[in-house]
Copies of this chain bind each other. A is one copy, B any other.
Amino acid sequence: MAYRRTDAVVARLNETRERIVAAALKLVAQHGYDGAGIPAIAEEAGLSTGALYRYFPSKADLFDEVFRRASQREIDVCAAAAQTPGSARERLARVVQVFARRALKGRRLAYALLAEPVDPLIEADRLRYRIPYRDIFVGIIEDGIEAGDIAAQDAVLTASAIVGALNEALIGPLAPQARKTDQEQLIAGLALFCVQALGPMPARKS
């Protein structure tokens, strides 16, 4: 034995791995999936295509991680917004606003994450990473039901519908060729839509 993974080597390896993920994310955010082939990512990360395959066994695995990272950031922010004090309706509105505002700020990336036509392998990721959002809404809705602020209902159904509503309503405005609309009005409209969809405040049991 003459070569061993010293801390320095491990550190450099980790750093390279990060560079790859960052490079992929950057290319997607800038040019969409067309600009994010393996050779382009490798070049952006400053290494050869072959070397990239020492870090990720396949493109699908790489994008799985890219998707997870990019989504996780957003999910964390939304989860935090869901944690703020207030009624379930207030919290729901806040999460919707945060989600929409951030999407509209990082348009190109949001479009890539939400809607851009993409390889089926990667598309599957998209479906997967909607679940955490749904679960955030499920939590809020169940809290609301328990508190008597929201009528009893299938929380998973309602939450799924809200996720879909957000995505679809944002796709148009996020599309690269969209002319810009009044973002604050859009955000407010979406929040109102979602809160109203929960139904009216149920009559309190006497």
Contacts and interface: CB of A to CB of B under 8 A. Distances in A.
Interface range on chain A (Cβ under 8 Å from partner): 35 or more
Contact of A117 (B120, B157, B166): B120
Contacts of A167: 164, 168
Contacts of A117: 120-121, 123-124, 127
Contacts of A28: none
A185 interface: yes
Interface in A111-134: 115, 117-121, 123-124, 127, 130
A75 interface: no
A161 B14 CA distance: 42
A190 interface: yes
Contact of A163 (B162, B168, B193): B168
A202 interface: no
B161 A168 contact: yes
6 residue pairs, one from A and one from B, having the closest CB atoms: A164-B168, A117-B123, A117-B120, A161-B165, A197-B197, A164-B164
27 contacts: A117-B123, A117-B127, A118-B123, A119-B120, A127-B171, A130-B168, A153-B192, A154-B186, A154-B189, A157-B189, A157-B190, A158-B189, A160-B165, A161-B165, A161-B169, A161-B190, A161-B193, A164-B171, A165-B165, A167-B168, A168-B168, A192-B199, A194-B197, A196-B196, A196-B197, A196-B199, A197-B197
